[in-house]
Chain A
C-alpha cells in the first residue's frame, strides 16, 4: 500500500530536536521549512497490514497461519482482551535516508532536522494507518489497541525477521531487518495492534506504551514530553 502524502506536525519535529515548549526558533526556522519540503519530496510512505487470529500458547501469543509467536508478559497484557490482532509494517523508503546521509557531508544541521522530520513522519504514517483501521473496525462495533512494537517492554527485537516475513514486507514494501535487527530503511516501524471486542476500551497513551520509551530524552531527565 502507498500513502500519497503525509502531514507532519512541526511541534513533533521540534520535540525530537530537543526543543521545549515556547522556545524561540531563531535561525532554525528556514532549516525547518527546507527540511519539511525535502520530506514531502523524498518520503515514499508504504505499509502492509495483515489480520490474524491470536492463540495463547506456552511460548507466547501465536498468530495463526504464521510462524510468529509473541513472547513475554508485556504483549500478553497488551493483547489480553483480544482474539484477533493486526500486524503492521510501515516505511518511508530509502530516498529520504539517502538524502539524510548526503546532507551529513554538506549541511549537517539540515540533515539533523530532516532526520527529525522523518522520525515524525513515520510516526504520522503509523497514526494514519492506525486511525484508518480503527474506523474500519468501528463499523463492526469493535476497537483496536494502541501499537506495540518489538523492542518495547520485554517483547524481543529479535522477532523482526519473522514479523516482516509474516507480512511479506521485504517483497511488498522493501522493508528488511539487518543481522543486528535494525530495520532498513531506518525510518520504519513494525507493530501489532489487538482487535478489541465491542464494549472494551483501549488503554490510554502513556510513557509505557510510547514508541520512544527506551530512548526518550525527557524520560532520562525524569520528565515527560507532555504529549
Chain B
C-alpha cells in the first residue's frame, strides 16, 4: 500500500513512541549518538521497533534522528552507513506487521543564520545527503521532526521535494506560548510548510498532550493538510537531580482523546513514552472514524514570527527600490546593507506591514545581491517581504533565501512570463502579484484589464496556486500624461475586487508624477482606490497623510472597531519640534549637540549649516573637531562607551544629511580612505565591530561592512575588488581568534597591499602581532588613530 493512502484514510494511523527513552532504559548514555547503535547493536534498535509494532504502531520512524554529517562527525561512521542500517532494521521489524517505515530527520544541532552560523545552503546539503540515502535504502515516507527553526524546516522540505517523491510528515516543537524556541509562530509554520508542499503537519516533543492540544487546535485552523501529534509523557520534573516524565500510559491515552475530535490523522508519543503508552493509545484510537471540517484559510503572508492576514488594508512600503533614489543606489553599489536595513526599519516604524524589495541595478550580480538583501533584512525585521523583480533567476534565488511566505512582484498576462514564474511561485509557496498588462502593453479600458486579470488567475490556479494567493495590480498611470486612464484604473480595481474576488494591489504615487502638490493628488487617488476595494497600496509609509487616510478608511469601513485605533493614533501625535540651532551659533551649537548625543537636533543644525558652508567645510570644520573632543574625553576616562556611541550616533545623523546633499552632486563624496570591517568566520559577536564602523564613518572614511561570520575568501575578494587599504577584523572568542589568524594569512597570501587592524575582547597587543596583524585597536577610538596613521591626516 502507498503511504499516501493513510493521509486520506478514515482510520487514525498509529505512529510509534520514543526511541531515545527506550534506548536509555537499555543503558545508552546521555550524550551518546543513538544512531550509532544501528551498527553496533542493531538487535537492540530492532527490539524497540518491534515492541511498538506489537502494541499497534502502523508506521515507525527509523533510528536516524541525528544522522546528519555534522552530528556524526567523530563517530567513525558515515551518514550513508547509519541511515542504510537504520532503514534495514526498521524494515525487518515492520515487515511482519505490514507497517510503514519513515526516514526520521531531526534538527541539525546548530543554530542557523541570521542568529547562528549555519548557512541555509549548508543545511539544505546536509538534509539532502540524508534524503538521498533514505531513498536508496527504501523508506515509505520522510519525517522532519522536533524542529524549532522555520528556516531549517524549509531546507529540509526542499531537500526532500527536490531529491525524492516521498510524502513528508513535518512537525515542529512549540513552547506553551505557541512559539518555538526561535520564535516561530504556529500559524507561520502552517502557512509556510503547506506552501512548500509538506503532506502532513504536526507537533511533537516539548510538552504533554494537554499543553499541546490548544496549539494543535490553532494548527488545525491554519492548514488544510492532515495533522498529527506526538506529545511527550507530560512535563519533565527533576527529582534528586534526575529528570523524569510524570505521566502514565493511562493518563497519557486519556489526555490524547481530545485530539481525535480534532480530526488528527495520526498519533504517537515522544520523550518519555514507551510501548505501553502506544498500546493504550492504539486501543483508544482503534474504532474511531476520523472527521475533520477543513478550515478556510484567509489570504496571508508571513515571516516565522509574524503573519500578516489580508483581512484589512495592508500597506506595502515602496522605499527599497533604487529607481530615482541616489542614496540607495550608491549604498547598493557599495554593498552597504546597513542603509537598506535603515530604510526597512524606518518604513515598518511608520506602519508598513510588508516591504517591497527591489535591487534592480544592471551593474550588480542581481541574484546574489537580492539574496543578501533578503537575508540581511530578515535578520533584523519581522515584516514579510515582497520580492520585486521580473527576472526568474532573481526570483528563484530570492524565494529560496526567504524565510516564510513572501509575495512575488510580479507576473503579467504574457504566456511566457506566466509559464516561467508561476511554477516558482507554486514550488516555494508564495503569493504573487499579477500586472494587468501583456505583450500589447497596458490596455486602455477597465474591461480589458479585468480580462488579463482573469487570465492570470486562471493560469495560476492551473499551476496549483490558490486563488487567494494571487493579487492583481490594475496599474497606475500618470494622470498628467494620460488623464483618462486614472478613472479606468479605479474602475478596474473595482471590477477585479467585485467580479474576480481576489486581492488588489496598486502603486499609488505614480499618479502624481510631474505635477505640483503631489501629496494632495496621491491622497485623493488613494482614498478613491480604497473605496473601490484596494487591499494593498504600495506607498511611502513615511508620508503621514497617506497613513492617516488609511487609518480613517479603517474607521469608516468598520475594520477599526469603535474607531479605537484612529483615536489612539491621533492621541499620541506630538507637534513637530522646531529647529534649535539659530544661524551664527552653529559652531558651538553642533559640537554641543553632538557631545550631548542629541540626534534630531544635530541633524537640524547640520541642515542649517549647509546654507552657509560646503559639505566638506562642515565635516572638517565642525563634525571632526567635535568628535575629536569627545574622543579625547573618552580616552581620558571622563566619559564612557555608551556616551561615546551616543555622540557618534548623533554625528552619524549629521553625516547622513551631508551624504544626501552630496548624492545630488555627481562625483563628490566624503572619502578619506576605504576601510573594510568584518567579524571573522565562526564568530557572531559584532557590537564591537559596529561601534568601530560608526566611529570611522564619522571621520569620513568609507567603510564596507561585511557583517559577522565572514569567510576569509570573502574578505580577500572584497578587499581586492574594492581596493581597500585597511582591513579591520574582530573576534571575541579564543576559538575564533584562530579564524582571525587564518584570515590574516589569507590576506597576506593573496599579496594584498592592505594593512590589517584587529580587535576583540581576548586580544592583546602581543597576541595581535603574534597572529600577524599590523595594528591592535584596543577600543573604537583607537581605530581612528590607526586609520589616521594609514591614510594620513
- Could you tell me the distance between the alpha carbons of A210 and B545 in the complex, rounded to whole angstroms? 56
Knowing A94-B182, A100-B687, say if A112 contacts B30 (CB, 8 Å): no
B115-A112 in contact (CB<8A): no
B645 contacts A by Cβ under 8 Å = yes
Give, as a whole number of angstroms, the nearest-CB distance from B414 to chain A.
39
Q: Which of A72-80, A120-128, A161-169, A201-209 contacts B (4 or more CB under 8 A)?
A: A161-169
- Could you tell me the distance between the alpha carbons of A105 and B761 in the complex, rounded to whole angstroms? 22
Knowing A100-B687, A105-B338, A113-B642, say if A180 contacts B735 (CB, 8 Å): yes
- Could you tell me the distance between the alpha carbons of A174 and B271 in the complex, rounded to whole angstroms? 15
A194 contacts B by Cβ under 8 Å = no
Give, as a whole number of angstroms, the nearest-CB distance from B708 to chain A.
9
Give every chain A residue within 8 A of B596 (Cβ-Cβ). Answer: 27
B43 contacts A by Cβ under 8 Å = no
B734-A174 in contact (CB<8A): no
Cβ-defined partner of A26 (8 Å) among B381, B643, B645, B685:
B643
Give every chain B residue within 8 A of A176 (Cβ-Cβ). Answer: 109-111, 116
Closest to A175 in B: B181
- Could you tell me the distance between the alpha carbons of A98 and B378 in the complex, rounded to whole angstroms? 11
Give every chain A residue within 8 A of B764 (Cβ-Cβ). Answer: 220
Give every chain A residue within 8 A of B117 (Cβ-Cβ). Answer: 178-180, 182, 184
Give every chain A residue within 8 A of B118 (Cβ-Cβ). Answer: 178-179
Give every chain B residue within 8 A of A138 (Cβ-Cβ). Answer: none
Give every chain A residue within 8 A of B645 (Cβ-Cβ). Answer: 108-109, 112
Give every chain A residue within 8 A of B386 (Cβ-Cβ). Answer: none
How many chain B residues sit at the interface, stated as a range, is 35 or more
Question: B682-710 vs A: 1/0 string, CB under 8 Å?
Answer: 11111100110010000000000000000
A93 contacts B by Cβ under 8 Å = yes
B342-A105 in contact (CB<8A): yes
A68 contacts B by Cβ under 8 Å = yes
Knowing A115-B687, A178-B111, A182-B733, say if A172 contacts B643 (CB, 8 Å): no
Give every chain A residue within 8 A of B694 (Cβ-Cβ). Answer: 108
Q: Which of B234-242, B273-281, B493-501, B569-577 contacts A (4 or more CB under 8 A)?
A: B234-242
A66-B734 in contact (CB<8A): no
B64 contacts A by Cβ under 8 Å = no
Closest to A167 in B: B30
Question: A1-19 vs B: 1/0 string, CB under 8 Å?
Answer: 1000000000000000111
B137 contacts A by Cβ under 8 Å = no
- Could you tell me the distance between the alpha carbons of A112 and B183 in the complex, rounded to whole angstroms? 23
Cβ-defined partner of A172 (8 Å) among B109, B236, B241, B342:
B236
Give every chain B residue within 8 A of A50 (Cβ-Cβ). Answer: 30, 241-243
A28-B111 in contact (CB<8A): no
Cβ-defined partner of A186 (8 Å) among B32, B341, B684:
B684
How many chain A residues sit at the interface, stated as a range, is 35 or more
Determine chain B's interface SS by DSSP, over half rule: loop
A104 contacts B by Cβ under 8 Å = yes
Give, as a whole number of angstroms, the nearest-CB distance from A45 to chain B.
13
B240-A166 in contact (CB<8A): no
A36 contacts B by Cβ under 8 Å = no
Give, as a whole number of angstroms, the nearest-CB distance from A71 to chain B.
15
- Could you tell me the distance between the alpha carbons of A45 and B34 in the complex, rounded to whole angstroms? 29
Give every chain B residue within 8 A of A102 (Cβ-Cβ). Answer: 345, 380-381
Question: B584-603 vs A: 1/0 string, CB under 8 Å?
Answer: 00000000000011000000
Closest to A51 in B: B241
B206-A182 in contact (CB<8A): no
By CB atoms of chain B within 10 A, which of A86, A112, A113, A167 has the most?
Answer: A112
Question: B708-721 vs A: 1/0 string, CB under 8 Å?
Answer: 00000000000000
A49-B238 in contact (CB<8A): yes
Give every chain B residue within 8 A of A105 (Cβ-Cβ). Answer: 338, 341-342, 345, 380
Cβ-defined partner of B181 (8 Å) among A106, A161, A174:
A174
Give, as a whole number of angstroms, the nearest-CB distance from A69 to chain B.
10
Closest to A116 in B: B642
Cβ-defined partner of A65 (8 Å) among B30, B109, B734:
B30
A184-B111 in contact (CB<8A): yes
Give every chain B residue within 8 A of A98 (Cβ-Cβ). Answer: 115, 183
A182-B735 in contact (CB<8A): yes
B70 contacts A by Cβ under 8 Å = yes
A18-B734 in contact (CB<8A): no
- Could you tell me the distance between the alpha carbons of A48 and B597 in the complex, rounded to whole angstroms? 42
Give every chain A residue within 8 A of B681 (Cβ-Cβ). Answer: 180
A184-B115 in contact (CB<8A): yes
List B732-756 residues whose CB lies under 8 Å from chain A.
732-736, 739
A95 contacts B by Cβ under 8 Å = yes
B687-A28 in contact (CB<8A): no
B682-A28 in contact (CB<8A): no
A174-B148 in contact (CB<8A): yes
B791 contacts A by Cβ under 8 Å = no
Give, as a whole number of angstroms, the nearest-CB distance from A152 to chain B.
11
A18-B684 in contact (CB<8A): no
Give every chain B residue within 8 A of A66 (Cβ-Cβ). Answer: 29-31
Question: B135-152 vs A: 1/0 string, CB under 8 Å?
Answer: 000000000001010000
Closest to B342 in A: A105
- Could you tell me the distance between the alpha carbons of A200 and B507 in the complex, rounded to whole angstroms? 75
Question: B116-138 vs A: 1/0 string, CB under 8 Å?
Answer: 11100000000000000000000
Cβ-defined partner of B110 (8 Å) among A100, A167, A178, A186:
A178
Closest to B341 in A: A105
Question: B604-642 vs A: 1/0 string, CB under 8 Å?
Answer: 000000000000000000000000000000000101111
Knowing A17-B641, A105-B345, say if A168 contacts B597 (CB, 8 Å): no
Give, as a whole number of angstroms, the nearest-CB distance from B647 to chain A.
9
B733-A94 in contact (CB<8A): no
Cβ-defined partner of B691 (8 Å) among A23, A108, A162, A171:
A108
Give every chain B residue within 8 A of A27 (Cβ-Cβ). Answer: 596-597, 643, 646
Closest to B24 in A: A65
Give every chain B residue within 8 A of A113 (Cβ-Cβ). Answer: 642
Give every chain B residue within 8 A of A162 (Cβ-Cβ). Answer: 31
A155 contacts B by Cβ under 8 Å = no
- Could you tell me the distance between the alpha carbons of A108 and B732 in the complex, rounded to whole angstroms? 18
- Could you tell me the distance between the alpha carbons of A176 and B107 in the complex, rounded to whole angstroms? 11
Give, as a whole number of angstroms, the nearest-CB distance from B677 to chain A.
13
Cβ-defined partner of B640 (8 Å) among A28, A101, A106, A180:
A28
A109-B109 in contact (CB<8A): no
Give every chain B residue within 8 A of A17 (Cβ-Cβ). Answer: 640-642
B224 contacts A by Cβ under 8 Å = no
Give every chain A residue within 8 A of B181 (Cβ-Cβ). Answer: 93-94, 173-174
Give every chain B residue within 8 A of A178 (Cβ-Cβ). Answer: 110-111, 116-118, 682, 684
Give every chain B residue within 8 A of A214 (Cβ-Cβ). Answer: 734, 761-762
Give every chain A residue within 8 A of B116 (Cβ-Cβ). Answer: 176, 178, 184
Give every chain A residue within 8 A of B30 (Cβ-Cβ). Answer: 50, 65-68, 165-168
B648 contacts A by Cβ under 8 Å = yes
A182-B761 in contact (CB<8A): no
A31 contacts B by Cβ under 8 Å = yes
- Could you tell me the distance between the alpha carbons of A113 and B691 in the complex, rounded to whole angstroms? 13
B111-A179 in contact (CB<8A): no
- Could you tell me the distance between the alpha carbons of A109 and B596 in the complex, rounded to whole angstroms? 13
B646-A23 in contact (CB<8A): no
Give every chain B residue within 8 A of A165 (Cβ-Cβ). Answer: 30-31
B464 contacts A by Cβ under 8 Å = no
A107 contacts B by Cβ under 8 Å = yes
Known: A50-B241, A161-B109. 5 other contacts (CB 8 A): A50-B243, A171-B173, A179-B118, A181-B733, A181-B735
Provide a sorted-by-A list of 23 A–B residue pairs whose CB atoms are within 8 angstroms. Answer: A23-B640, A49-B238, A65-B30, A97-B115, A98-B183, A100-B687, A101-B115, A102-B345, A105-B338, A105-B341, A108-B690, A112-B642, A165-B31, A168-B30, A168-B243, A174-B148, A174-B180, A177-B110, A179-B117, A179-B118, A184-B117, A186-B684, A214-B762
**Residues of chain A at the chain B interface (Cβ within 8 Å):** 1, 17-20, 23, 26-28, 31, 48-52, 65-68, 86, 93-95, 97-98, 100-102, 104-109, 111-113, 115, 151, 157, 161-162, 165-168, 170-174, 176-182, 184-186, 214-215, 220
The 4 closest A-B pairs by CB, nearest first: A51-B241, A174-B181, A180-B682, A215-B761
